[in-house]
Amino acid sequence: MNTLIIINDPPYGTERLYNGLRLAHALLKKECDVTVFLMGDAVTGAKAGQKTPDGFYNAERMIKRVAIKGAVLMCGTCMDARGITEEEMVEGADRSTMDALAEATLSADRVLVF
């Protein structure tokens, strides 16, 4: 099963990125193929060096965990709009394009949007 998860919301302030990444991790544990595409403010979730309070989830760590077995792609236009460079991204998250998102959408068995 090939699943594409598109996430639009920022890493903190709503729980959509958090829940989308939790689902991605759960699907990976079930040995599904998972691609997570971060768009809009969600790209800030893949910025390296996040420091969150003890007991609070950390989007950077969650993205790294998903990237170990799945793919994490980031909208390059969204990165540019927010001043995020490839050097600032967490290891395992790759800059991507709308063309790549279109291809991932066409090849996915399921597309989920958060």
At 48 the pLDDT is 94
CATH, residue 13: 3.40.1260.10
Q: What percent of the chain has pLDDT over 70?
A: 100
At 68 the pLDDT is 96
Q: What percent of the chain has pLDDT over 90?
A: 96
Domain range for 87 is 2-46+56-113
Sequence-distant (6+) residues with CB within 8 A of 110 are 1, 2, 3, 4
* 14 pLDDT above the threshold of 90: yes
Residue 51 placed within a domain: no
Structure confidence by residue, pLDDT tens digits, 33-68:
999 999 999 999 999 999 999 889 999 999 999 999
Residue 22 placed within a domain: yes
Q: What's the domain count of the chain?
A: 1
Report how far apart, in Å, the C-alpha atoms of 5 and of each of 9, 23, 50, 87, 111 are.
12, 9, 22, 24, 6
